[in-house]
Amino acid sequence: MNKTISDGKWIRTFDLDLHWNFTIHTDKFVVHITGGSVVISDKKTGTLLNQIKRYNYLYTGDVKPDETELFALENGKHFYIISLEDFTQKLRVTLPRFYEAIDVYGSFSSDGEMLYVPVQRWRKDGYEYCLCEYETKTYSLVSMEKIPYSQVTHWI
C-alpha cells in the first residue's frame, strides 16, 4: 500500500509495505530513503549514483526545487542535508532542544529558500507541536511557532 504526499514540488511516496520506505521522484533523480540509507539514482537511466549508509531511523525527506540538495529527516532529533551535485552529506542539523520529529515530514518552500520541519515535545498534559523554519543557505533556525496537531504533516 502506498501513500503519496501532495505537498511540495516533487512526487513523494511512502511504501507502507516497506519495500522502500520513502521515495522522491524529481526531474533528474529517484531517491529512496530506507531507514538506514539514502539511495540516489539517475531518473532517466536508472544508474545508481550513490548509496549513503549508516543512518538510523531516516524515513522522510524532500529535494530542493533546483535539485541541488536533499533534506532527509530522521525519526528523532536530526536532519541531514545531502548534496545532489557530488552526492555527499553536507550537514547534520540538530533539532531544537527537547524537541524531536516523530512520524512527520518536512518540506522546502517553493523557491527553495526555506525548509519547514514539524517537531514535537512531550509536556505534562500531552504533546506540544511546533513548526521550525530554517533558511537554506546555512540551515540556521529562523523561527519556531506552535501549531495545532491538525497542521502537523505526519505520515501515519
pTM recorded for the entire structure: 0.92
Q: For residue 156, name the pLDDT band (cuts at 50, 70, 90).
A: low
Task: Please report, for the chain, the start and end positions of each structural domain, with discontinuous segments joined by +.
Answer: 2-151
CA 55 to chain centroid, in Å, comes to 13
Is there a contact between 105 and 5 (Cβ–Cβ < 8 Å)?
A: yes
Q: Tens digits of per-residue pLDDT, 49-105?
A: 999 999 999 989 999 999 999 999 999 999 999 999 999 999 999 999 999 999 899
pLDDT surpassing 90 at residue 155: no
Is there a contact between 69 and 82 (Cβ–Cβ < 8 Å)?
A: yes
pLDDT score at 8: 77
| Rounded distance between C-alpha atoms, residue 143 and residue 145, angstroms | 7
Instruction: Give one DSSP letter per residue of 128-143, joined into a string.
Output: EEEEEEEETTT--EEE
Homologous superfamily, domain 2-151: YVTN repeat-like/Quinoprotein amine dehydrogenase (2.130.10.10)
Let me know the angle formed at the C-alpha of 97 by 94 and 100, rounded to the nearest 5 degrees.
70
β-strand 141-147 against 114-123: which pairing, if any?
unpaired
Distances 112 to 14, 69, 156 between C-alpha atoms, Å: 22, 10, 26
